[in-house]
Chains A and B, each alone.
Chain A
Amino acid sequence: MTLVQKDAPLDVVPPRRWGLAVAVGLLLIFSLAPILWQVLTSLKTNADIAAVPNVYFPRQLTLEHYIELFRRRPFLRYMLNSAFVASVSTLLCLLIGTPAAYALARLRLPGERFILAGVLIVTLFPYILLFLGLLELVRTFGLANTYLALIVPYTAMNLPLTILVMRSFFQQLPRDLEDSAKIDGYNTGQMLWQILLPLTLPALVTTGILAFIAAWNEFIFALTFITRESMKTVPVAVAQLSGTAVFEIPYGALAAATVVGTLPLVILVLLFQRRIVQGLTAGAVKG
C-alpha cells in the first residue's frame, strides 16, 4: 500500500487549518465578548467604570461588587430561591413528561395525532398572553408569594418540550431491548429502573438542563407573582438592583450579579457535558 499518501509534516499547517482556526476564533469572540465585558466590569473599581475614555482592562482588580452583592443584599437568598424553584420544576417536568412521552412513543393510542398536535400548539403559544389569566388563578388559590406560584407555571411551560424531545428519544430506542428484557425475566419496575433509565439518562439530562435554564431565567411570572423580598429569584433581583442614589446606575454590581447568576448554569452544563456527549455516541444495537 505505498500509494497511500504520507501525513504532512507536523510543522507545516495546511492553509485550510488556518482558515478554520480563524473562523473558530472569530465565532468565540463574537459570542463570548459580552460575557467577557461583564466579567471585566465586575472586577473594576467604580472609578474605572466611570472613567472616560473607556478603560477596557481593569487597572486594579477588586471584589467589592461581589462582596456588596452578598453582604449588603441577600443575593445568596435569591440564588437559593432560583435554584429551588428551577430544580423542583425541572424534576416535576421530567417526572410527568417522561412517562407521557413513553406512552406516546410506545402505545398505539387512539387520537395520538391530536394529542401531539395539541402539545405542539402549546409550545407555539406566546406565554406572555397567559400571564394575566394566570395572575387571576394565583390570586384565587392564594398562591401569591409562594414557591408554588412559580413551580406550577414553570413545569407547565417546559412540559411540551420535554414530552416532544423524550418521545423522539424513546422512538429511536429499539423496542427489541424491552422485549428482550421481558423474556429475560425483568418485571416492569426492574425494566424501567435497570434497562430504560440508564439508557434514557443522557436524554433526561439534556432536556432537564434545557428546562432548568428556562426556569432559572424566567422573568415575567417571577416579577408579578412574587413581591416579597425574601422570595425573589435572580432575574428579578438583578433587574431591581439599584444604587445608593436615585440616578446612579450600579454597573459594577449589575455585572457581578450577571456573572454570579450565570455561573450555576455554566457549571451545570460543564458537569453534565460528558453525559450528554456520551448519550449521543453510545453504540446501541446493530453492527
Chain B
Amino acid sequence: MAKLELRNLNKTYTPRVVPLKELSLNVENGEFLTLLGPSGCGKSTTLRLIAGLEQPTRGEVRIGDRNVTHQPPGQRNIAMVFQSYALYPHMTVYENIASGLKLRRMASAEIQQRIGEVSQFLGLGELMQRKPGQLSGGQRQRVALARALVRRPDVFLLDEPLSNLDALLREQVRAELKQIFAAQPTPVVYVTHDQTEAMTLSTRVAVLNDGFLQQLDSPKRIYVRPANRFVASFIGSPQMNLLHLKCEGGFAQLGRCKLPLPSQVTVPPEVIFGIRPEHVRLVRPEDQQVLQGRVVLVENLGMSDLLTVQVEGTQGTLLRALLPPDQSWSGKQISLALPPEALHWFDVQTGDRLPDALP
C-alpha cells in the first residue's frame, strides 16, 4: 500500500481531443476515491494514465515516493478491474486469478494460499476449474475482483465495475465492494458515472467535467455544498432547481418572495439560485417568506411526489418540490417555504458558488 499522487496531468490526443486538461490530486492510504462525471469527461482516461496504459502529455504519476510516469503498467504494481471484466476466456478461473502472481515468479505454495483466501472470501471455491464463458455476469465480476485482490497491489483501480450487472445485483455487489475495500488499507480509485455508487462507496469524490476537476470533497460536502453550478446540477436526484434571479439590496426576487443573499456578497445584479426539490417544503405558520404557486405536474416516485410548480408573480418560472404523497396535488394552488439553510447561490458568469457564512 502506498499513497498515489497525480500532478498536473494532461492528456492531449489531438489539439481538439483533450479528454484530460489538468488534474492534480492525492489519494492517501485507506482512501476510497471516486472519479465521478458524465460520460466522456475523461474518467477512464485518467485511470488509464494511472495504470500506465496511456502516457500523459504533461504531468506526473507518483506511487509512494516513486515517480512511475514512465514505467510500463506491469512494473507499477497496480491492479485494475475493467468494466468488461477482461477475463482471459481460454483460462480457467484459477489460472485467471493466478496469472499475475505466476508472472511475478511467486512460489506456488504462496500462490495457492493467497488464492485460497481470496476465493473463500468471495465464495469462488466451486468455480475454480470453470472457464469464464461458463459463469454468470455476477460471478465473472467476482473473479475479476479476485484477480485484483490476490495481487495485493499498491493501488486498486476500478473502471465502472458494476455497470454490466442488472439493477438488483448491482446494489448487492455495491454493498459487498464497500465491505471488501473498507477492510483493507490500500488506496482505491473508482470510476463511475453513477452518483449513487459514488456517494455510497467513497471516502472522497472527485467530480470531473470537461477534463477539469470540479470539486474534490467528501460525499456529504459535495451534496451539501456543491462548489459550482455543474456539481450542483450533476449531484442529486431529482436534480436541484437552478433559477436565474434578479437582485435588489441584499435580496433576490423570486415571485413575491424575497430571498436573503449571503451577507458577504457584494450584491450582483443577477444570481443563480439553487434549492434541491427535497428541501422545498409546505409552508408552516412561523414562515415569513411564502411562495405561492400552482401545481402543473405531479410525478409519483413511490415514497414521495415530485411536483412541478409554476411560481406566482413570475413569467412561468417553474420550481420542483418533493412532497409526501399523502394528498392529491394535481392542479392545486399551494404555498411553499424555502428554508434559508438549504439555499445555494452561484455566480452568473463563472458558475462558482458564492461565499456564504456556513462552514
The yes or no verdict on A and B being binding partners is: yes
B79 adjacent to A183 (CB under 8 Å): yes
B137 adjacent to A286 (CB under 8 Å): yes
B residues less than 8 Å from A180 (CB atoms) = 80, 82, 86, 88
Q: State whether the Cβ of A21 lies closer than 8 Å to any Cβ in chain B.
A: no
A residues less than 8 Å from B52 (CB atoms) = 182-183
Q: State whether the Cβ of B74 lies closer than 8 Å to any Cβ in chain A.
A: yes
> Which listed residue (B73, B131, B147) contacts A283, Cβ 8 A?
B131
Produce 1/0 per residue, A210-235, CB < 8 A to B: 00000000000000000000000000
Would A285 and B84 be within 8 Å (CB), given that A185-B74, A199-B90 are in contact? Answer: yes
A177 adjacent to B103 (CB under 8 Å): no
- Cα distance A174–B82 when bound, in Å? 11
Question: From B103, which residue of chain A is reached at the shortest CB distance?
Answer: A185
- Cα distance A176–B157 when bound, in Å? 14
B100 adjacent to A185 (CB under 8 Å): yes
Chain A, interface size category, equals 20 to 34
Would A183 and B90 be within 8 Å (CB), given that A283-B131, A287-B140 are in contact? Answer: no
A283 adjacent to B134 (CB under 8 Å): yes
A195 adjacent to B100 (CB under 8 Å): no
- Cα distance A199–B133 when bound, in Å? 13
Would A182 and B89 be within 8 Å (CB), given that A190-B103, A286-B84 are in contact? Answer: no
- Cα distance A184–B51 when bound, in Å? 11
Taking the closest CB of chain B, its distance from the CB of A111, in whole angstroms, is: 16
Q: State whether the Cβ of B331 lies closer than 8 Å to any Cβ in chain A.
A: no
- Cα distance A145–B42 when bound, in Å? 61
A176 adjacent to B82 (CB under 8 Å): yes
Chain B residues bordering chain A, tally (CB within 8 A): 37
Q: State whether the Cβ of B99 lies closer than 8 Å to any Cβ in chain A.
A: yes
Q: State whether the Cβ of B78 lies closer than 8 Å to any Cβ in chain A.
A: yes
B74 adjacent to A195 (CB under 8 Å): no
Q: State whether the Cβ of A109 lies closer than 8 Å to any Cβ in chain B.
A: no
- Cα distance A179–B90 when bound, in Å? 16
> Which listed residue (B82, B85, B133) contacts A179, Cβ 8 A?
B82
Q: State whether the Cβ of A282 lies closer than 8 Å to any Cβ in chain B.
A: yes
Would A285 and B74 be within 8 Å (CB), given that A183-B53, A184-B103 are in contact? Answer: no
Taking the closest CB of chain B, its distance from the CB of A100, in whole angstroms, is: 24
A182 adjacent to B73 (CB under 8 Å): yes
Can you name 4 extra interface pairs (CB under 8 A) apart from A179-B80, A282-B89, A284-B133? A176-B86, A177-B86, A180-B82, A182-B72
- Cα distance A199–B79 when bound, in Å? 23
A residues less than 8 Å from B349 (CB atoms) = none
A285 adjacent to B86 (CB under 8 Å): yes
Q: State whether the Cβ of B104 lies closer than 8 Å to any Cβ in chain A.
A: yes
Would A284 and B89 be within 8 Å (CB), given that A183-B53, A184-B99, A185-B100 are in contact? Answer: yes
A residues less than 8 Å from B133 (CB atoms) = 282-284
A residues less than 8 Å from B134 (CB atoms) = 283
Q: State whether the Cβ of A74 lies closer than 8 Å to any Cβ in chain B.
A: no
Q: State whether the Cβ of B132 lies closer than 8 Å to any Cβ in chain A.
A: yes
- Cα distance A228–B48 when bound, in Å? 61
- Cα distance A187–B136 when bound, in Å? 30
B residues less than 8 Å from A264 (CB atoms) = none
Q: State whether the Cβ of B87 lies closer than 8 Å to any Cβ in chain A.
A: yes
A residues less than 8 Å from B100 (CB atoms) = 183-185
B residues less than 8 Å from A84 (CB atoms) = none
B contact set with A: CB distance below 8 Å: 48, 51-53, 72-75, 78-80, 82-90, 99-100, 103-104, 131-138, 140-141, 147, 164-165
A sample of 6 inter-chain contacts (CB < 8 A) reads A179-B73, A182-B52, A183-B80, A283-B89, A284-B133, A286-B164
Q: State whether the Cβ of A186 lies closer than 8 Å to any Cβ in chain B.
A: yes
A contact set with B: CB distance below 8 Å: 174, 176-177, 179-187, 190, 195, 198-199, 282-287
A residues less than 8 Å from B135 (CB atoms) = 287
Taking the closest CB of chain A, its distance from the CB of B4, in whole angstroms, is: 15
Would A283 and B132 be within 8 Å (CB), given that A176-B82, A184-B103 are in contact? Answer: yes
Taking the closest CB of chain B, its distance from the CB of A176, in whole angstroms, is: 4
> Which listed residue (B74, B82, B131) contacts A187, Cβ 8 A?
B74
> Which listed residue (A187, A195, A285) contacts B85, Cβ 8 A?
A285
The 4 A-B residue pairs with the shortest CB-CB distance in the complex, in nearest-first order: A287-B137, A283-B133, A185-B74, A176-B86
A residues less than 8 Å from B165 (CB atoms) = 287
Most chain A CB neighbours (cut-off 10 Å) among B79, B84, B87, B138: B84
Taking the closest CB of chain B, its distance from the CB of A171, in whole angstroms, is: 15
Taking the closest CB of chain B, its distance from the CB of A183, in whole angstroms, is: 5
Question: From B89, which residue of chain A is reached at the shortest CB distance?
Answer: A284
Would A285 and B89 be within 8 Å (CB), given that A183-B73, A184-B100 are in contact? Answer: yes
A residues less than 8 Å from B80 (CB atoms) = 179-180, 183
> Which listed residue (A174, A185, A190, A199) contacts B86, Cβ 8 A?
A174
Question: From A176, which residue of chain B is reached at the shortest CB distance?
Answer: B86
B residues less than 8 Å from A183 (CB atoms) = 51-53, 73-74, 78-80, 100
Taking the closest CB of chain A, its distance from the CB of B63, in whole angstroms, is: 13
A285 adjacent to B51 (CB under 8 Å): no
B residues less than 8 Å from A181 (CB atoms) = 88
- Cα distance A146–B75 when bound, in Å? 50
A residues less than 8 Å from B84 (CB atoms) = 174, 176, 285-286
Most chain B CB neighbours (cut-off 10 Å) among A181, A183, A195, A285: A183
